[in-house]
Every structure is written in C-alpha cells, then in structure tokens.
Structure 1
Amino acid sequence: MPSEISVDDETATQLLQQMLRIKAFEDETKARYEDGEIPGFVHLDYGHEGNHVGIGAAMEDDDWLAVGGARLVGQYIAKGVPLTEIMAELYGRVGGANSGFGGQMHIADIDRKLYGHAATIGSGQNPAVGLALAEQMKGTDNVAVTTIGDGGTSRGSFHTALVFAAYWNLPVVFVIENNGWAISTPSDALAPDHLSDYGIPHKIHNESIDGSDVEQVYQTVSEAIERARNDEGPSVIECRVARLGPHFEGDKELYRNTEDRERDSNERNPIENYRERLLEAGVLTKAEIDDMQENIDAEVQEAVEFARNSPEPNPESAYDHVYRLPLYGQGE
C-alpha cells in the first residue's frame, strides 16, 4: 500500500471522512438489523468504502451514477443522499429516499442524479448507456458512471452495454467492483486475467487498479470521466477490492478460507490503511480523526432517530406506482 499522499490535504481529509461515514453508518445498520429493527436483508460495504468514496469524489453533481452490485449504501452516501433518507429507506418508512418502496438495494434519487438499481443484479449498465446517450444528444458534458460486481459481468446485458457504448462513443464509465466473490463463486474462475479486459474487443479504454486505495480510484475514475467529457469515449475500470464481510448478514461463508479472510482484513482494509497514511504524512492528528469520528457517530444516530420516528407507509400505498394511466394512448 502506498505511503505518500497524492492529493491536497483538504481532499485527503474529505476522502477519509467519507469512508468513516460509510463505515459508521454500516456498523449501525448491522446493529439495528441484528436487533430486528431493519427488515429484509442487508449487504454491507466492508472493504468497498475506498472504492465508493473514490468514485463519488471524482464525479460532478450533474454526472449520473447508475448503481449496481449488492453493496450499495456506500455509493448512495458518496453521491450525496442524506443519511436520514437512506436509513429511513432501510427501515421501510415514508421518510426514506423512496418512501420505503426501495429498501437497501433499490434506492434512487433522480434530483441527485442517482439512478437506482434495477430489479436483477448486473442489469444496470444498459440504463447507464441510455443516460449517457441522452446527455450526448442534449449536448451536455455530463457523464454516466455505472458500477457492477464481478459476478454481474457474466450477464449478457453487461456485454450488450459495452457494444452500444463503444459504437456510439458514449460518455460512460463502467466500474467493475471485483471483490473476489460472486456470492460464493470465486471471481478467479472467470476467463479474463483482468475483468477490465472485457473492454478490449470493443477498443474501449480499460485498466485494472487497486480499488482499496481511495486515491488511486479517485485519480483513475477522474481521468476516465475527463476523457468521456472530451468526447474520447467510454472506459472499463476493474477495481480490485476485498470483501471484508459476508455476502449478506447471516451468510456463514462456509465456502471461504478463514486465513484468506483474516489476511484481507489485516492488509486490505481501505480505511485503516488510509488513516495510517494520513497520520504518517501529518495531514491529520489522531485527535482530529477522533473528533471527526465523534461528529460522524452523532450524525448516524440522528439518522436512526429520524428513521424510527418516520411513519410506516399506509397499506393503501401498496397500490401506488403499480401502473400508470392512461395506458397505451387511452383517455383519462
């Protein structure tokens, strides 16, 4: 892991702060889920924090983020969705970003240019291509960034998106979060040496980087976005990260080697590694980081209280958004 800091002190501080915010939010989510307050399933971001923050920091407010994969809360936070709205959505309450309809894996916020996850894993790349095409046709310089897990790259829809992005020279950046596991299937069972190689047949710029290094993600995605803005076409970036937790809370991970998991926790933790880099470089002191953490913890607790106090949806709301009238040109 590099020891030097390649960004200014303000940016470095913000990168660490965002990673700590994601971690604190996820720790509280885990606790509230275990206590039975949060329904359904939760897939936590542990190990992905640096990648999510690096992506978010590279984007402008008007750039689209079309999320994919299972570990998404960090991406919502990095795109600027308030913690209160995310937590209330996890609780299934009306104060959530989508009034409780979306849950952990399907939050969308169109005003913040966050395109929500589609109904099936690995199918968000075609919508991202559509968003990029729309921005191109409107003559803006806005870019669409889309994420997908290593397992999702085996879907035909991912490869269809690459074809269209290359053919139309679209301003879209494909980020593959390769955490080594497609649920319980190891990603090294896939054919390419690097999953970014999928861009080679389409002559799309492609790179494979250390996704646990927040600065490297920030710089690489920034460069890809800048190319897209300058009409230099799409990019495919593989960000190699370590999944530092189970696929979902409750997964016993019987398929995974305990020694490998412990080694990753010790060596590939993006937050702990970056914290040490900032301390060694004198960017922040331990006291400053402790104060930062205290403020973040208070912010997370406010989000929990907001979610708890937000009302549950009325039963009649189950019929909302089921279909839209008029249908097929029919009158009112």
Structure 2
Amino acid sequence: MTQKVSVDDELARDFLEEMLRIDVFEEETKERFGEGEIPGFVHLSGGHEGSHVGMGAAMDDDDWLAVGGARLIGQYIAKGVPLPEIMAELYGRVGGSNEGHGGQMHVSDVDRRLYGHAATIGSGQNPAVGLGLAEEMKGTDNVAVTTIGDGGTSRGSFHTALVFAAYWDLPVVFVIENNEWAISTPAESLSPDRLSDYGIPHNMPTESIDGSDVEEVYHTVSEAIERARSGEGPTVIESRVVRLVPHFEGDKETYRDEEAYERAKEEKDPIENYRERLLENGVITEAELEDMVANIEAEVEEAVEFARESPEPEPEAAYEHVYKTPLYGQGDRR
C-alpha cells in the first residue's frame, strides 16, 4: 500500500532534494577523504538524512541549532551552511565557516544560528539551554534545538541540561538521534525502552518517532518548536534511525550482525523510501529526479573546487580564537 504524502508537493520535493544533497555531498567527502585530501576522521550521516532534514525544515532561520553526536555534516547542511564553506572546513582551509579551525566535527556558524559541537560528546546541551535562556531574556520567541546521540545520553551533562531547561521552562527542544549504536555499544544496553523517557521525571512532553521518515520528524519537531515558542517549555524527542554507515570511515564494524545490517539497509534507507513514496504519489518524475541529482552533483563539485583553491591557514592562526582579548578588562587599565 502506497504511503501518502502529508505535506504539499513543493515541500516534499524540498525534503527529497535536501536529503539527496546530504548524500551526494557525503559520498564526495568519502572519496576525497579516501584520496587523502581531507585530514583527520570522517563520520558520515547515512541513515540520518530524514531526521536531519525534517528537523531543519521545522526551524525558523532565527532558531538556534546546537549540534551534537558524531553525524554532523547533514545537520550543517540542514541548517543552511553553504556547501563550499562546509567542504573548505573539512579540508582545514581558511574558506571554511571557521577558517579551518574546526574541521568536520566542529563546524559552527553563529550568523546562521548554528552552535558548533563541544569538545566532548554529550556536552552540547548545556550551551543550548544557555541559548534558550538568552533568547527568553531578550524577549524573542526564538527556540534552541539541540541534538545528541543515544550514547551521549549517558553523560551527566545531558541530564544537567534537562534539569535546568525544565526548572526555567525554557524554549529548548532536545532531539536524541538513536541510531542503535554508541560506536560499538548497542543502544539496547541503555535503561529506558524509549530514550525520550529521560524527560518524564522533569514533566516534559516526550515523543519517540521513526526518524527515518522525514515527514514524521518534520511534524513532530514543528509541534515541539511551536510549544516552546509559545512559552510552553522544553520537549524531548527520540528520533529512531538506523546507522547505515560505519561509525567512521575505516571502522570494520565487526560488532554488527551482517544479516540484520543488510536488512536495515533495504528497509530503513530514508532517501530511497522517500524517493519511492514521491514517485508513487506522482509528486516527482524520474526525469525531474535525474535533473535534481545532476544539479546537486554540480553544486558539490563547485564546493570541492572552492575548498581546493582556498589557502591553508598560516601557522600563526593556531593562536587565534584561543583566548578572548583583552582578557578580564586589561585593555581598560592605564
């Protein structure tokens, strides 16, 4: 039975295009990493695209996204950071959104309300609470959305953030992307059946949804944002996805059951499932889909060329953004 489309055709096509943009960009990232052009490690978003795109579409431009977890590239794209700036940041070049300081795990863009990943997993939710408090104190109706993986919910800092968001009734939406694996530890090792249940002791609304369904994510996060925007406080959402890629490029994944893994790839691919859904409902044609992919491939190619042509930072750049200067008002001393 064909699953209906619950949004208008234009928005549905936008969803598919953005998921494809993440996929094509990441496939090229994988290739460039394999060729040695991108330094460090690369963690790709395969299986998370529907969660990222649905969440991003639910947000207004002035809402904050405080990213967490390891699968972040799709979140950067969903928040509207231009592909050339993301790719240049992956390359460690000055044309990146952080001038090459951040790399793949630490892209941020304050002008676009993207708060970058903190240095350790599970510690980005407290800054999100601070952002929500700041927006409330300024009298805006802006909301802070923050993401975390299933493994990150084991960190005490995550639970501290829930305490303060609830106590101050702040406009924060917590999205837990449960992809079934905290690197190599299965999420079923965690105590709650639904990770959103962590919000219950704080009297927060909670939802556990199919995060591979972009429309379900969009509707659920939109409702949570609307509650927060109207002064009804925080929400915890578990977005259940399947990690369809290794934890990082090079991970041999010996801890996964191969048969279940292959079955998940067939059944829970958010892009392939949504593509078929739109084709069956007559929202898009194969020819339109081919044009869409070709245009995205051209965008990604331009992003790679921009990154390659962008210069590497000078050695002195290592000392930039380390401290706020002048420190503690020294500049006021006579």
TM-score normalized by the length of structure 1: 0.99
TM superposition outliers: structure 1 runs of 4+ over 6 Å: none
- In the alignment, does 2:170 pair up with 1:164? no
- In the alignment, does 2:296 pair up with 1:296? yes
Question: Residue 286 of structure 1 aligns with which residue?
Answer: 286
> Can you list the C-alpha shifts for 1:96-117, whole angstroms capped at 9, x where unaligned?
0100000001001000000000
Could you tell me how far apart the structure 2 residues matched to 1:275 and 1:331 are? 58
Q: Matched residue of 1:175: which SS?
A: strand
Correspondence 1:190-201 to 2 at 5 A: 190-201=190-201
Could you tell me how far apart the structure 2 residues matched to 1:173 and 1:151 are? 18
Percent of aligned positions that are identical: 77
- In the alignment, does 2:218 pair up with 1:218? yes
Question: Residue 272 of structure 2 aligns with which residue?
Answer: 272
- In the alignment, does 2:24 pair up with 1:24? yes
Question: Residue 329 of structure 2 aligns with which residue?
Answer: 329
Q: Matched residue pairs, number?
A: 332
Q: Matched residue of 1:331: which SS?
A: helix
Could you tell me how far apart the structure 1 residues matched to 2:265 and 2:105 are? 25
Extract unaligned runs of 5+ from structure 2. Answer: none
> Can you list the C-alpha shifts for 1:256-313, whole angstroms capped at 9, x where unaligned?
1111110110000000000000000000001100100000000000000000000011
> Can you list the C-alpha shifts for 1:215-256, whole angstroms capped at 9, x where unaligned?
000000000000001111100000000000100000000111
Could you tell me how far apart the structure 2 residues matched to 1:296 and 1:177 are? 26
Change (3 A) 1:149 1:2: farther
> Can you list the C-alpha shifts for 1:120-139, whole angstroms capped at 9, x where unaligned?
11110000000000011111
Contact 2:45–2:71 (8 Å) recurs in 1 = yes
Tell me the CA shift for residue 2 of structure 1: 7.0
Question: Residue 49 of structure 2 aligns with which residue?
Answer: 49
Could you tell me how far apart the structure 2 residues matched to 1:136 and 1:26 are? 36
Could you tell me how far apart the structure 2 residues matched to 1:329 and 1:99 are? 27
Tell me the CA shift for residue 144 of structure 1: 0.3
Question: Residue 36 of structure 1 aligns with which residue?
Answer: 36
Contact 2:18–2:53 (8 Å) recurs in 1 = yes
Could you tell me how far apart the structure 2 residues matched to 1:137 and 1:206 are? 25
Question: Residue 116 of structure 2 aligns with which residue?
Answer: 116
Contact 2:2–2:281 (8 Å) recurs in 1 = no
Q: Matched residue of 1:311: which SS?
A: coil
Contact 2:106–2:118 (8 Å) recurs in 1 = yes
TM-score normalized by the length of structure 2: 0.98
Q: Matched residue of 2:52: which SS?
A: helix
Letter matched to residue 77 of structure 2: I
Extract unaligned runs of 5+ from structure 1. Answer: none
Letter matched to residue 121 of structure 2: I
Tell me the CA shift for residue 326 of structure 1: 2.4
Could you tell me how far apart the structure 2 residues matched to 1:197 and 1:97 are? 36
